[in-house]
């Protein structure tokens, strides 16, 4: 699931790259490009990263640029934020975003608010990155999506990649940005290969923060998603196409600032909207999209109420069958599309 929909023979200059390798490439290139960039977190150095994202970087760049920290998110996040205020460009890895809650004061009160509170005098160019949302078989304390949590807070930029191209381009853009950026990756995508063009593999490639991407053109219904569920939306769109329903699939890429213009333009064209996310329903990303559409001119083009497909409104269960029923599946998206189209 989440696999690239086009696993045919790649075109010239196109190769298959996993999300893990794309992130590793981005870190390597940015560490090389700017000596102010450094990586810190649990097991990022000598162990090559808990998920092998930083593989080979400690050997290449040494102790000053790739730093193993104690298991203390509050401590190493504070160090990273201070380093950013002093002119460095830290990349702070959380082994899982669930434990960024240990450092939420540093992320929100220190990183997100300082530029505003200093009237622009103090920039905090820092990237907080790591796996977000549900993995597999790790129960409630390792399985919540933080897109809505961090997307709620002014002062932060929040990005959520799906493909290898998203991952590489957004990480490079985030490291180069002068604002604090939260990058929400997905552990289950790390090993998934996607096609990457020669251009996407160049050292100059970045994906602009705040711009969504239309992954599939369609005319009947707009599907808006981010992270792993984008793959589910594409799978659902392929099934529905056989029944004559053409879905337009939008990969948000960025949660904050949100590219609502791309969503509005699509709704004007399709007259129907379904949002899909792994997070909880209340105050979620889909809820925000629905509210923004309702408040704007695209609302007049809707032929039916917008429908949200979300995670179940419970802490994540441990049992596999319950876990599967808590996370949006392809069948749930198909059901939502048919509901909104009244078919």
pLDDT at 9: 52
pLDDT for 108-139, tens place per residue?
Answer: 999 999 999 999 999 999 999 999 999 899 99
| pLDDT, mean of residues 22-35 | 98
Within this chain, do residues 308 and 337 fall inside the same structural domain, yes or no?
A: yes
Concerning whether 235 is annotated as a catalytic residue, the answer is no
Within this chain, do residues 195 and 224 fall inside the same structural domain, yes or no?
A: no
**Residue 280 domain flag:** yes
- DSSP string over 241-258: HTTT--EEEEE--EEES-
Catalytic choice (30, 42, 73, 235): 73
- What CATH code is carried by the domain that includes residue 42? 3.40.50.970
Within this chain, do residues 185 and 306 fall inside the same structural domain, yes or no?
A: no
pLDDT at 298: 97
pTM, entire model: 0.94
Within this chain, do residues 26 and 152 fall inside the same structural domain, yes or no?
A: yes
Concerning whether 152 is annotated as a catalytic residue, the answer is no
pLDDT for 211-261, tens place per residue?
Answer: 999 999 999 999 999 999 999 999 999 999 999 999 999 999 999 999 999
> What CA–CA distances, in Å, run from 109 to 78, 114, 117, 136, 211?
11, 8, 10, 32, 26
pLDDT for 139-192, tens place per residue?
Answer: 999 999 999 999 999 999 999 999 999 999 999 999 999 999 999 999 999 999
Show the tokens assigned to 78. 């504070």
Catalytic choice (30, 142, 195, 272): 142
pLDDT at 13: 78
Show the tokens assigned to 302. 């809707």
Count of structural domains within the chain = 2
Residue 279: domain span: 213-341
pLDDT for 41-74, tens place per residue?
Answer: 999 999 999 999 999 999 999 999 999 999 999 9
């Amino acid at each position: 699931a989440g696999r690239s929909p086009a696993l045919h023979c790649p075109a010239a200059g196109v190769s298959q790259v996993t999300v893990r390798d794309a992130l590793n490439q981005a870190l390597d290139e940015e560490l090389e490009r700017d000596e102010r960039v450094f990586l810190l977190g649990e097991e990022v150095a000598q162990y090559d990263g808990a998920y092998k994202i930083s593989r080979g970087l400690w050997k290449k760049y040494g102790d000053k640029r790739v730093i193993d920290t104690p298991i203390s998110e509050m401590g190493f996040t504070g160090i990273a934020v201070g380093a950013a205020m002093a002119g460095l460009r830290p990349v702070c890895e959380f082994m899982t975003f669930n434990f960024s809650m240990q450092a939420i004061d540093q992320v929100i009160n220190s990183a997100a608010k300082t530029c505003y509170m200093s009237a622009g005098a103090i920039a905090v160019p820092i990237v907080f990155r790591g796996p977000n949302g549900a993995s597999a078989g790790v129960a409630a304390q390792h399985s919540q999506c933080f897109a809505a949590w961090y997307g709620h807070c002014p002062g932060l930029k929040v990005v959520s990649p799906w493909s290898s191209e998203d991952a590489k381009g957004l990480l490079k853009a985030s490291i180069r940005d002068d604002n604090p950026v939260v990058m929400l990756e997905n552990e289950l995508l790390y090993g998934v290969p996607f096609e990457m063009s020669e251009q996407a593999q160049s050292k100059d490639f970045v994906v602009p923060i705040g711009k969504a991407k239309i992954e599939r053109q369609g005319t009947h219904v707009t599907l808006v998603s981010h992270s792993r569920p984008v793959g589910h939306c594409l799978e659902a769109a392929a099934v529905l196409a056989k029944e004559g329903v053409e879905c337009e699939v939008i990969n948000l890429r960025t949660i904050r600032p949100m590219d609502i213009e791309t969503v509005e333009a699509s709704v004007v064209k399709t007259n129907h909207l379904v949002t899909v996310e792994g997070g909880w329903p209340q105050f979620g990303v889909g809820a925000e999209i629905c509210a923004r559409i309702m408040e704007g001119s695209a609302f007049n083009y809707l032929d039916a109420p917008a429908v949200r497909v979300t995670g179940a409104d419970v802490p994540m269960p441990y049992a596999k069958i319950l876990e599967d029923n808590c996370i949006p599946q392809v069948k749930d998206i198909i059901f939502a599309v048919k509901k909104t189209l009244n078919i």
